Amino acid sequence: MSGPSRVLIGVSRGLFVVAMVLSYLTPSWQYGTFALWPLGTLHILHYDYAPGALMLLPLMVAATWLLGVLLGRRWRSWRRPAWWVVGPALGFGALTVLRVWPVHIARTAFVAITSVGFFYAIGLYAHTELPIRHLSAALAAVMVVQGVLAVAQFALQGPVGLQMLGESTELPSAQGAHVLLVAGRRLLRAQGMSPHPNVLGGYMVIGLLVVGGRVLATKHRLERGLLAVAMLAGIIGLLLSFSRSALLALSLSLMIGACLARHSLSGSLPLVSRRWLWAAAGGLGLLLSAVLWLRLSGLGNPLEQASVRERLEDYGLAWTLIRARPLLGVGSGYYIAALWAAVGNQMGPDFPGFRTVHSIPLLAAAELGVGGAVLWVAMLLAPAAMGMHKGAVGRDWELLGLSAAFLAAFAATLLDVYLYLPTVWWPALMLGSTVGAWSRHVSQRPYDAY
């Protein structure tokens, strides 16, 4: 690779990491960080958008990268192991686009197609240019900021004054899932700069696992120390989110990850390090158990009872749509509209409206058909399946951490929907970067260090 190409690729990587961190620290591209210093107004499908100056970052990433490629950047191919994940990812995205038709709601179709395009673009870029160490650095920065904000929000029981950047204005008096009822007292769950506490918890879990793999892999003490501090902030943010789905996801992924890593634990670390690792895992397990007990023991209070009742009702409604159209589904993004068409006339005049089912396999089966659910599950379980089949994951700490993150994402999506690709942009960034980094790592090890 020539000198100018190397410089351009380096600039592109730096801009990408900055854009990734800022994206994880804003709940929406329509307001907050990416709406600062507006450049004008765009009218798209009867909606007005005012992109800010920072929205130029993705364009700058693409421009510098493409120019670097034209000047001689060597292309990185996909080796056979990468297709364990890349194949289902491509299939899920393609099925999402195909099931947009026939178009019933133009904006719904636009969002689904744009999200899939973004997912593909991020995945391609990450496969070519995003080593796991860079992904770990970005997620570590996010965990530090989100963890500090989570502590401040929980201590204040309200926002810290960053509404201009997109911070939520929720208070303990609010109704809904942002609030816990503990011993008769309403407590506001921390959500950092995320749109919901569950989103904060889920992203902290994925960050912890990816960064944890890098901590065990790196030989540099300074890097290990900085990443360990970031993990501490991530653990605090996770605990203060009080997210059941995130806590269960972390517990499951740690247990399965430990099974995959049993050979590494016995051979690649000295005895003292192994003892410290198991002690840390035990302490984290106790913390997770305490917070889970707090959430699950509250099932007798009205807030938790309502949450569980609504989830069960939504599962039944989703199953109604799946049975009606098991092969093709109702179409990408049309879940709510399909419920109104199917059972809306059975609801009374005071019915507040349908909710999206909190389970991505069920939602994918309802919208894309059973094949969509199979592709989704295959994409997230393939890394662990490859590790069990080949025995390779347990000998590579970075790959182990990333594979555990896929497991955690799968477990979380059994109980939540914030990673569902066709409806919002966050999944395209998170899934695209992790799929791309994983395929890069398994396609060419050791990868280049520039």
Q: Residue 221: give the domain boundaries.
A: 79-309+353-443
Q: DSSP label at 347? A: S
For residue 49, the 8-state DSSP code is: E
Confirm whether 231 is domain-assigned.
yes
Picking from 7, 13, 24, the residue whose alpha carbon sits closest to that of residue 425 is: 24
Report which residue type is found at 195.
P
Task: Please report whether residue 422 resides in a domain.
Answer: yes
- When divided into structural domains, the chain yields a total of 2
Say yes or no: 71 and 113 in one domain: no
Are 291 and 239 contacting, i.e. CB atoms less than 8 angstroms apart? yes
Residue 448, domain member (yes or no): no
Q: Provide the b/e sequence for 291-310 (b: ≥16 CB within 10 Å).
A: beeebeebeeeeebeebeee
Asked if residue 147 lies in contact with residue 194, where contact means CB atoms within 8 angstroms, the answer is no
The answer to whether position 71 is within a domain reads yes
DSSP summary character for residue 179: E
245 secondary structure, DSSP code: H
Q: Do 141 and 46 share a structural domain?
A: no
C-alpha neighbours within 13 Å on the C-beta side of residue 407: 30
**Which residues fall within 8 angstroms of residue 18, CB to CB, at 6 or more apart?**
57
Look at residue 290 and tell me if it is in a domain. yes
The CA-atom distances, in angstroms, between 402 and each of 135, 254, 281, 382, 407 are 10, 12, 18, 12, 9
Distance CA 339, CA 361 (A): 17
Tokens standing for residue 404 = 């555990």
Q: What is the pLDDT along the chain (450 residues), one digit of tens a residue?
A: 667 888 888 899 999 999 999 999 988 777 778 888 888 777 776 777 778 888 888 889 989 988 888 887 667 777 778 888 999 999 999 999 999 988 888 888 888 999 999 999 999 999 998 889 999 999 999 999 999 999 999 999 888 988 888 888 887 777 666 777 766 778 888 999 998 899 999 999 999 999 998 998 888 999 999 999 999 999 999 989 988 888 888 888 877 766 666 555 555 555 545 555 555 566 666 666 666 665 555 554 566 677 778 888 999 999 999 999 999 999 999 999 999 988 888 877 777 788 999 999 999 999 999 999 999 999 999 887 776 655 555 567 888 888 889 999 999 999 899 999 888 777 899 999 999 999 998 887 543 332
Domain boundary among 27, 56, 75: 75
Phi, psi of 328 (to 5 degrees): -105, -20
Q: How far apart are CA 354 and CA 12, in angstroms?
A: 43
Residue 282: inside a domain, yes or no? yes
> What does the DSSP 8-state code read for residue 72?
T
Supply the pTM of this predicted model: 0.87
- Which of residues 75, 99, 119 is at a domain's end? 75
Half-sphere exposure of 102 (CA within 13 A, CB side): 1
Q: CB 274: neighbour CB atoms within 10 A?
A: 15
**Tokens 């059975």 belong to which residue?**
346
- Residue ending a domain, among 58, 75, 92, is 75
Task: Tell me which residue of 210, 78, 74 sits closest to 133, measured CA to CA.
Answer: 210
φ, ψ of residue 252 in degrees (nearest 5): -65, -45
Residue 139 and residue 434 in contact, taking contact as beta carbons nearer than 8 Å: no
